[in-house]
Amino acid sequence: MSLLVVGSVALDTVQTPFGKRDEMLGGSAVYCALAACHFTDVKLVGVVGDDFHNDATELLRQRNIDLSGLETRPGKTFRWSGVYADDMNDRDTLYTALNVFEAFNPTIPEDARTAEYVFLGNISPKLQLNVLEQMGKPVFVAMDTMNFWIDSARDELLEVLSKVNAVIINDAEAKQLSGSTNVVQAARNIQQTGCSTVLIKKGEHGCFQVCGEECFIAPAYPLEKVLDPTGAGDTFAGGFMGHLARARGTDSRTLREAVVYGSVMASFVVEQFGVDNLLQLTEAMIRQRYDEFRRLVSF
Ligand code: AMP
């Protein structure tokens, strides 16, 4: 069973109260793929420039991530930089240099078109539709988006929502998309688009999922120290989609488990800068934190 991940591949410069890192490997597709590869086979579709380091490509390959859909174009790789305030909930983007990502037009390799699980990272809704048109009949498609697309490409975004099974967004985006400041109402409104599962991430306050009629909540793992929150959302999506692909299911119980695996993976990634912690995780560490989650909410 395999998961197709489409999104950005980036070099991130990040500053938090705990330090600064320059040009780290990042991007939505990278965080998602490095989380999901602990659960299932992953195929990554994205674009990099001819300045992208070979050791980064090698690092992804070593984790069995299929890079046949990673194009190299003349020019520079997408770069993003952010700085976090003391409480880590606030972040300012210092710059976004799209570079080769600006002309990204995902071509899905022939053998990836039959992938049964698909994650559409934060790219333009037009490109997300383009990816869906190239796919066979996936079992489950989840998507991400951001405030920019909610404002500037609303109609196309609504079309994507009508064609996917799940949307994974943060609470501010859910409110912006739905027009409701109540998170439950926001999720219900978004379901009206045709997307039956809505996951609303609330940062350190956990995640709220509606799936058909059912609601589920999962806390965020209580961490004493967060070094770098970058990529937590995409890592969550990787754990969530990875578990669905591994479990070969999309029933309500498996979706609940997937939310907890998403939360587990997100809790690991923020403990170190960039993708560092995702690279040294073992199955036993993931399982142990999953079991701790169960104990945390048992009463
Ligand atoms: P998150 O912390 O979940 O918002 O994800 C941060 C990751 O998203 C970083 O690795 C960035 O490289 C990537 N990113 C930031 N802005 C964009 C954008 N406009 N399009 C695609 N990816 C982006």
Q: What is the pLDDT of residues 208-238, one digit of tens each?
A: 999 999 999 999 999 999 999 999 999 999 9
Pocket probe mutation, ligand 1, options 5, 6, 8, 90, max atoms within 8 Å of Cβ: 8
Mean pLDDT (whole number) for 120-134:
97
pLDDT value, residue 40 = 98
CA dihedral 292, 228, 78, 201 (to 10 degrees): 50
Mean pLDDT (whole number) for 84-104:
94
Measuring from atom 5 of ligand 1, which residue has the nearest CA?
A: 231
Q: For the chain, what's the residue count?
A: 299
With a 6 A CB cut-off, is 234 part of the ligand 1 pocket? Answer: yes
- CB 2, CB 116: distance < 8 Å: yes
- CB 243, CB 39: distance < 8 Å: yes
Q: Which amino acid is at 195?
A: C
With a 6 A CB cut-off, is 8 part of the ligand 1 pocket? Answer: yes
- Whose CA is closest to 240, among 215, 223, 257? 257
pTM of the entire structure? 0.97
pLDDT value, residue 87 = 85
pLDDT value, residue 149 = 96
The percentage of residues in the chain with a pLDDT greater than 90, rounded to a whole number, is 97
With a 6 A CB cut-off, is 27 part of the ligand 1 pocket? Answer: yes
With a 6 A CB cut-off, is 2 part of the ligand 1 pocket? Answer: no
pLDDT value, residue 1 = 66
CA of 254 from ligand 1 middle (Å) equals: 28
- CB 16, CB 24: distance < 8 Å: no
Phi, psi of 19 (to 5 degrees): 145, -175
The CATH number of whichever domain residue 265 belongs to comes to 3.40.1190.20
With a 6 A CB cut-off, is 185 part of the ligand 1 pocket? Answer: no
| Angle at the Cα of 287 from the Cα atoms of 284 and 288, rounded to 5 degrees | 85
| Angle (deg, nearest 10), helices 154-163 and 125-134 | 30
CA of 27 from ligand 1 middle (Å) equals: 5
With a 6 A CB cut-off, is 124 part of the ligand 1 pocket? Answer: no
Structure confidence by residue, pLDDT tens digits, 18-76: 999 999 999 999 999 999 999 999 999 999 999 999 999 999 999 999 999 999 999 99
Structure confidence by residue, pLDDT tens digits, 178-215: 999 999 999 999 999 999 999 999 988 999 999 999 99
- DSSP conformation letters of the chain: -EEEEE---EEEEEEETTEEEEEEEE-HHHHHHHHHTTTSEEEEEEEEETTS-HHHHHHHHHTTEEEEEEEEESSPPEEEEEEE-TTSS-EEEEEEE-GGGGG------GGGTT-SEEEE-SS-HHHHHHHHHH----SEEEE---HHHHHH-HHHHHHHHHH-SEEEEEHHHHHHHHS-SSHHHHHHHHHTTT--EEEEE-GGG-EEEEETTEEEEEPPP--S--S--TTHHHHHHHHHHHHHHHHT--SHHHHHHHHHHHHHHHHHHTTSSTTHHHHS--HHHHHHHHHHHHHHT--
Query: What count of other Cβ atoms lies within 10 Å of the Cβ of residue 55?
Result: 8
Cα separation, 297 vs 299, whole angstroms: 6
CA dihedral 1, 234, 144, 133 (to 10 degrees): -40
Residue with tokens 């899905």: 108
- Domain residue limits at 291: 2-296
Cα separation, 36 vs 40, whole angstroms: 6
CA of 53 from ligand 1 middle (Å) equals: 19
CA of 299 from ligand 1 middle (Å) equals: 37
pLDDT value, residue 204 = 87
Structure confidence by residue, pLDDT tens digits, 112-123: 999 999 999 999
- Whose CA is closest to 285, among 268, 262, 271? 268
Taking 90 as the threshold, does the pLDDT of residue 89 lie above it? no
CA of 96 from ligand 1 middle (Å) equals: 9
* Total domains in the fold of the chain: 1
- Whose CA is closest to 261, among 225, 226, 218? 218
Taking 90 as the threshold, does the pLDDT of residue 154 lie above it? yes
